[in-house]
Amino acid sequence: MRGALMRLELRNFVEDFDDVMPMSGRYIPFPAVTDHSGVVHVPPRVGVSPAQIGIATAIGAAGIGLAWYVRARLTRRSSVISLQS
């Protein structure tokens, strides 16, 4: 991109920056710090919250429970069919 289109897009980016900036993330509370030699400090990565861990655990447990239930139903059904034969 160059020329008039580039200038227009940069102007649009500047005008809409607050609307498109993410609400959370690695660089929101503190930006990366640089000096004449380059990058001095980069904020740490945003970790996984306890709520996200809880949700993932619940989904995993539900999946295991569902698999156990389906397997039990299929096992019972096949044993009933073999008893009838």
Residues 41 and 73 in one domain: no
Helices (H), the chain: 3-15, 17-20, 50-84
H or E, element range at 40: strand 38-41
Q: What is the pTM of this model?
A: 0.43
Question: Do 63 and 53 reside in the same domain of the chain?
Answer: yes
Query: What does the pLDDT look like over 32-72, one tens digit per residue?
Result: 999 999 999 998 887 888 899 999 999 999 999 999 999 99
Q: Is residue 7 domain-shared with residue 40, that is, in the same domain?
A: yes
In the structure, what pLDDT confidence band is assigned to residue 83 with cuts at 50, 70 and 90? low
Considering the domain architecture, whether residues 52 and 13 belong to the same structural domain is answered as no
In this structure, the answer to whether residues 39 and 72 fall within a common structural domain is: no
Q: Which domain holds residue 82?
A: 48-85
